[in-house]
Amino acid sequence: MRIPFVDLHAQYLAHQEEFDAAFREVIGKTAFIGGEFVREFERAYAEAYGVKHCISCANGTDAIYIVLRMLDVGLGHEVITTAASWISTSETISQAGALPVFVDVDEYGNIDVEQVERNITPHTRAIIPVHLYGQAAQVEVLEKLAASRGVHLVEDCAQAHFAERAGRRVGTFGVAGTFSFYPGKNLGAYGDAGAIITNDDELARRCRMYANHGALVKHQHELEGINSRLDGLQASLLTAKLKYLGEWTEARRRVAGWYDQELASIDWVARPRVRPGSTHVYHLYVIQVDDRDALRAHLTRQGIETGVHYPVALPLMQAYQYLGMSASDVPNAARNQDRILSLPIYPEMTAEMVHYVVAAIRSFRG
Ligand SMILES: Cc1ncc(COP(=O)(O)O)c(C=O)c1O
């Protein structure tokens, strides 16, 4: 059997007529940039989150950058974030002109909130937690901390659509939540796409303006901005897909449950741990083992695709050598990077497929 890491085609085949019709409608109306399809997606996404504003943009990286810029985060400021994420989370801090301050992860793989508190200085302007792999971080703690210390909380929800902490959807704890709709994400476009959600009217206005060359009204540029737009084709597809996101999320959780059950009898595999009070929407199902690379090669030989998210913790990357950090500064993230292995997961996976993957893992040690 061949088990791909993700299977975007399976989802397309299940909804082909609806998705094709969505594209045809946009093409028929030539509503390629801006317009009714983009507005409809923004309305539907804001409604799904119960927030006042959704501002769509070109991708999840821009979403973070736009928010930081419009919160006036820049030169001389520090922004605290996690050592374990995709580089978008930290490169946008630098692009805004601020200094990324990395802290280690906790035993669940998310940002360690006690270390966040310890690293706040008079220069700290924002905190960016990431709900890594789809598991909600302790944002209710960070929400209080940010309020008491007068810093902004911006949630990177790129991997965590519909995940919850303490019964509330993540993305609604901070002044803004940012999302990626990269094709492989839990809600994925057929190209790049992203969005910001917020209840702050002024921040929403500024983000919308900045993403559109600094203008809300054509030719009236209040400031210099960037060109970061969601296009009509992606917007109409995302609106069509949003209806199924709850169902797909449940399906991912079901698949994760099968993995949990089957892997429980393999004592050399550490399964993902979920913090009480957090939900996990399993963008990724990440196990930990001692001999990761050998297991990965073994699975590849059996036709099973896997991933590593991510092989080097952010502060240990070449890009951040200038910070002078070492593994002893972020011991958990440094240890995890050599042990983590992301197994195939997507809503269309069957119990038989999970069984096949786990049998292949079991056979690694005879
Ligand atoms: C945690 C995290 N933040 C930000 C991003 C950036 O999203 P995009 O690829 O849409 O720019 C991603 C995904 O790539 C991500 O996983």
* CA contacts within 13 A on the Cβ side of 111: 31
With CA atoms as reference, report the closest residue to 133 among 172, 105, 152, 103: 105
Q: Tokens 């991933």 belong to which residue? A: 307
With CA atoms as reference, report the closest residue to 29 among 280, 326, 285, 233: 233
DSSP structure string for 172-238: SSSSEEEEE--TTSSS--SS--EEEEES-HHHHHHHHHHTBTTEEETTEESS---B---BHHHHHHH
Question: What does the pLDDT read at residue 28?
Answer: 97
CA of 158 to the centre of ligand 1 (A): 5
- pLDDT, one tens digit per residue, over 309-322 is 999 999 999 999 99
- pLDDT, one tens digit per residue, over 65-79 is 999 999 999 999 999
pLDDT band (50, 70, 90) for residue 2: very high
CATH number of 8-242: 3.40.640.10
| Distance of alpha carbon 241 from the chain centroid | 17
DSSP assignment letter at 357 = H
- Mean pLDDT, rounded, of the chain: 98
- Per this entry, what is the length of the chain? 366
| For the CA of 132, the nearest atom of ligand 1 | 1
> Pocket around ligand 1: residues whose beta carbon is below 6 Å from it?
59-61, 85-86, 88-89, 130, 156, 158-159, 180, 182, 192, 194
Grouping H, G, I as helix, E, B as strand and the rest as coil, residue 82 is: strand
CA of 314 to the centre of ligand 1 (A): 14
Task: Give domain 245-364's CATH superfamily.
Answer: Aspartate Aminotransferase, domain 1 (3.90.1150.10)
The predicted model gives 163-169 an average pLDDT of 97
- pLDDT, one tens digit per residue, over 152-161 is 999 999 999 9
The token pair at 247 is: 């169902």
CA of 87 to the centre of ligand 1 (A): 8
Q: Tokens 């119960």 belong to which residue? A: 50
127 touches 79 (CB < 8 A): yes
Percent of the chain whose pLDDT exceeds 90: 99
- pLDDT, one tens digit per residue, over 4-21 is 999 999 999 999 999 999
| For the CA of 64, the nearest atom of ligand 1 | 4
Question: What does the pLDDT read at residue 263?
Answer: 98
Domain layout of the chain by residue ranges: 8-242, 245-364
Pocket test for ligand 1, best of 133, 182, 190 (most atoms within 8 A of CB): 182
Pocket test for ligand 1, best of 86, 159, 178, 238 (most atoms within 8 A of CB): 86
- pLDDT, one tens digit per residue, over 207-217 is 999 999 999 99
CA of 128 to the centre of ligand 1 (A): 13
- pLDDT, one tens digit per residue, over 246-257 is 999 999 999 999
48 touches 249 (CB < 8 A): no
Question: What does the pLDDT read at residue 366?
Answer: 76
How many Cβ atoms sit within 10 Å of the Cβ of residue 67? 31
pLDDT band (50, 70, 90) for residue 269: very high
Grouping H, G, I as helix, E, B as strand and the rest as coil, residue 123 is: coil
The Cα–Cα gap between 168 and 173 comes to: 8
